[in-house]
Amino acid sequence: MTHPIEELLEVMRRLRDPETGCPWDREQTFATIAPYTIEESYEVSDAIERNDMRDLKEELGDLLFQVVFHARMAEEQGLFDFNDVARGMAEKLIRRHPHVFGDASHRTADEQTVAWEAVKAEERKAKDKAGILDDVPVGLPALTRAAKLTKRAARVGFDWPGVDEVLDKLDEETQELKAEIAAGDLPKAREELGDLLFVMANLARKLDVEPEDALRGTNRKFVRRFSAIEAELRAQGRTPDEATLEEMDAIWNRVKQAEHQAG
């Protein structure tokens, strides 16, 4: 009986076959597939947030297919294959967990985090990536990358002492943004807005909050409350564009108050 991963690898090989494969699959490259890889990662996260385990199984399969697709293209170019990817991952995990696979003594979670970073620093050095920020992926969502950049810098002492100092910086950046808006300098305002968001990502790190998670939660809240506005107006035979801002704001506040009382 064929092992499932072998079956998947064979499916991928046939899809990329120069003679009998799928025209769309054959013409793809690392660059054209990369956006789909990112999209599938988000769909995995979405299934987890919805606690939909049936959907999660399917989305994990889609994400695995992305790995298989990239590995197949690399194999065609004589670079590496799927087994090399899997083997490299296993070796990395064993190397980074000597307390499990080696002779190192038992570690607490905090001690393991410190040791993990030390191993990663050695790996960066071996890759000629001496800078502590060198391997923070550029393709990450901007808020997530900002939080990771500041976390890396904080490990060598480049950090505010506490939350209060970050809040002070937040006030400072807000005033600078207001000044550029008042001056009508939109390019400068854009830069200051970026600075403000960067400080917000830093604040999230200080509070041990994932900024993308926090913003996703607010997005869900906005959708829920705005949908309630639409539902109430629909019951009145109207749509949002037929209502005033004051009317919609009043419904929003009632929904908000009801949520607070419920919870």
The per-residue pLDDT for range 16-70, each reduced to its tens digit, is 999 999 999 999 999 999 989 989 998 998 899 889 999 999 999 999 999 999 9
Task: Supply 82's token pair.
Answer: 């799927």
31, 21, 24, 13: which is closest to 68 by C-alpha? 13
Q: Which CATH class is domain 142-209?
A: mainly alpha
Task: Give the dihedral sign, CA 7/13/16/19.
Answer: negative
Residues 191-206 pLDDT 10s: 999 999 999 999 999 9
**Residue 22 confidence (pLDDT):** 96
Equal CATH topology for 4-95 and 142-209: yes
pLDDT-above-70 percentage for the chain: 89
Distance (Å) of CA 231 to CA 10, 198, 224: 50, 36, 11
**If you average pLDDT over every residue of the chain, what do you get?**
91
- If pLDDT is split at 50, 70 and 90, which confidence band does 159 have? very high
Which tens digit of pLDDT belongs to each residue from 214-235?
A: 998 999 999 999 999 999 999 9
**What ranges do the domains of the chain cover?**
4-95, 142-209, 213-262
The whole-number pLDDT of residue 57 equals: 97
Q: At residue 119, does pLDDT exceed 90?
A: no
pLDDT band at 117 (very low <50, low <70, confident <90, very high): low
- In the chain, which ranges are continuous DSSP H helix? 4-15, 23-26, 30-49, 53-76, 82-96, 98-101, 109-126, 142-154, 163-183, 186-206, 211-235, 245-262
pLDDT-derived band at 110 (thresholds 50, 70, 90) equals: low
The residue type of 78 is G
0.75 cut: is pTM over it?
Answer: no
Q: Which two tokens stand for residue 230?
A: 């639409």
| Neighbour-count burial of 8, counting CB atoms closer than 10 A to its CB (0-12 exposed, 13-18 middle, 19+ buried) | middle
- Regarding the domain with residue range 4-95, which homologous superfamily does it belong to in the CATH classification? MazG-like (1.10.287.1080)
